[in-house]
């Protein structure tokens, strides 16, 4: 297993560690529920340095990104980011990712520069996929092994980080970023993004400064009762918001349209992209299944892979994610069902062992913040 730059800190804090995407990662420090509430109500810090980062730089950097991603990166100004995905040739999803439009200071004259942030489990897969389509005047640079990434999330994240910088963080709108000095460390990329739904920032920093930045944030957040948080709470937080997890809710066999990601799939953008023709055909023909959220009637957590049935006990779908929602104190889940069962209020049955448990389809997100 690989370590992040601060794996030793997590072990020293007594975190429960586990292999995640080939990295030795903290799953929880105290309890998932405690860490979850900490982020929803205050501030928590996550080490997500296992994520992958690619720099795309050159005269046709934007052309390459437009070709391999579903969203329209041409709309991005310097200092803006967007959520997107890498479609495959059959309309499935190679990965979901963030696209950052970097400033001119990263380029030579006449060049463009973007950063792609990809899932840890897909770093090699994504690199190979993008490289396969690299027919443009641009360079692809993998900086994953050199880059630390800390996510400071929650309503008190801005109060915590503002103590460490002169940059007016209140001016950073959702999905914008800047580069500057934080906790005396230069060239930190401060991004107003995150996958918790509770606001906050993601901080990209050189590996050698990750530990110092962690300690500075923990000290600054002490008055707000900051907690280190593991991947367990990261999962419950994202699921309450209905955010997709690659490998569970989306994969190479699910299209962005089926997953409710039509908003990041710009079928009319000026540049053709991988899988566009397939998705246009799918949209014209109509979807046959859709990713939905549902709540359980009994206090039994739906698990990934559980089958979904209709009231006549006919199999109609599959659960992709499920958990006991700490905020709602009830079991919630997501899964794919036929369109006829996708309307809010539709009743479905989730198989748990030999039992079929009643569930009700609902609108996403589960938690309205």
Residue ranges per domain, the chain? 7-49+146-240, 288-362
Q: What pLDDT digit, counting tens, does each position of 147-206 carry?
A: 999 999 999 999 999 999 999 999 999 999 999 999 999 999 999 999 999 999 999 999
- Write down the pLDDT at residue 369: 83
Residues 153, 150: Cα–Cα separation, whole Å: 10
Q: What pLDDT digit, counting tens, does each position of 171-185 carry?
A: 999 999 999 999 999
CA distances from 32 to 29, 35, 36 (A): 8, 5, 6
Rounded mean pLDDT, 273-302: 95
- Write down the pLDDT at residue 16: 98
CA distances from 91 to 3, 132, 185, 228, 254 (A): 34, 17, 42, 38, 8
Q: What pLDDT digit, counting tens, does each position of 218-236 carry?
A: 999 999 999 999 999 999 9
- Write down the pLDDT at residue 302: 97
Q: Where are the beta strands (DSSP E) in 119-213?
A: 139-142, 147-153, 177-182, 185-191, 200-206
CATH architecture of the domain with range 288-362: Beta Barrel (2.40)
Q: What pLDDT digit, counting tens, does each position of 306-350 carry?
A: 999 999 999 999 999 999 999 999 999 999 999 999 999 999 999
Residues 180, 187: Cα–Cα separation, whole Å: 5
Residues 287, 266: Cα–Cα separation, whole Å: 17
At the topology level of CATH, where does 7-49+146-240 sit?
Answer: Gyrase A; domain 2 (3.30.1360)
Whether cis (ω within 30° of 0) applies to the bond prior to 75 is no
| Structural tokens at position 362 | 């609902």
| Structural tokens at position 126 | 């994504």
Angle subtended at Cα 50 by Cα 7 and Cα 107, rounded to the nearest 5 degrees: 125
Tokens 């944030």 correspond to: 217
- Write down the pLDDT at residue 105: 77
- Write down the pLDDT at residue 104: 77
Q: What pLDDT digit, counting tens, does each position of 48-95 carry?
A: 999 999 999 999 999 999 999 999 999 999 999 999 999 999 999 999
HSE at residue 92, side-chain half, CA atoms within 13 A, is 10
Residues 211, 205: Cα–Cα separation, whole Å: 10
| Structural tokens at position 89 | 């040739």
pTM above 0.85, yes or no: yes
Contacts of 187 (CB under 8 A, 6+ apart): 179, 180, 181, 205, 206
Of 26-30, 103-107, 159-163, the one with minimum mean pLDDT is 103-107
Is residue 29 within 8 Å of 227, Cβ to Cβ? yes
Q: Taking Cα atoms as reference points, which of 128, 95, 115 lies closest to residue 21?
A: 95
Distance of CA 247 to the CA centre of its chain: 12
Q: What pLDDT digit, counting tens, does each position of 254-279 carry?
A: 999 999 999 999 999 988 899 999 99
């Amino acid at each position: 297993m690989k370590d992040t730059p601060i794996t030793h800190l997590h072990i020293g804090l007594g975190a429960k560690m586990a292999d995640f995407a080939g990295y030795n990662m903290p799953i929880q420090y105290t309890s998932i529920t405690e860490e979850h509430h900490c982020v929803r109500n205050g501030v928590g810090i996550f080490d997500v340095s296992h994520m992958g980062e690619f720099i795309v730089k050159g005269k046709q950097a934007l052309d390459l990104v437009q070709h391999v991603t579903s969203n329209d990166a041409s709309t991005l100004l310097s200092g803006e980011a967007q959520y997107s995905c890498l479609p495959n040739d059959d309309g499935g999803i190679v990965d979901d990712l963030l696209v950052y439009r970097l400033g001119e200071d990263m380029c030579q004259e006449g060049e463009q520069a973007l950063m792609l942030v990809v899932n840890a489990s897909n770093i090699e897969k994504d690199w190979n996929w993008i490289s396969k389509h690299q027919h443009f005047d641009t360079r692809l640079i993998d900086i994953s092994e050199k880059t630390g990434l800390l996510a400071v999330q929650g309503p008190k994240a801005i109060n915590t980080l503002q103590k460490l910088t002169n940059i007016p963080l209140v001016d950073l709108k959702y999905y914008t970023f800047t580069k500057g000095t934080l906790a005396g460390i230069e060239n930190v990329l401060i991004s107003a993004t995150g996958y918790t739904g509770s606001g906050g920032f993601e901080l990209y920093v050189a590996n050698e400064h990750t530990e110092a930045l962690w300690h500075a944030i923990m000290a600054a957040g002490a008055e707000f009762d900051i907690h280190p948080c593991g991947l367990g709470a990261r999962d419950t937080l994202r699921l309450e918001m209905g955010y997709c997890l690659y490998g569970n809710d989306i994969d190479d066999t699910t299209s962005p349209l089926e997953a409710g990601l039509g908003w990041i799939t710009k079928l009319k953008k000026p540049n053709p992209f991988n899988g566009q023709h397939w998705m246009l055909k799918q949209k014209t023909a109509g979807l046959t299944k859709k990713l939905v959220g549902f709540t359980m009637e009994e206090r039994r957590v739906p698990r990934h892979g559980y089958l979904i049935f209709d009231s006549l006990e006919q199999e109609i779908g599959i659960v992709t994610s499920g958990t006991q929602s700490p905020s709602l104190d009830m079991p919630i889940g997501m899964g794919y069902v036929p369109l006829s069962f996708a309307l809010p209020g539709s009743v479905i049955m989730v198989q748990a062992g030999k039992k079929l448990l009643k569930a009700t389809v609902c609108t996403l997100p589960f938690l309205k913040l």
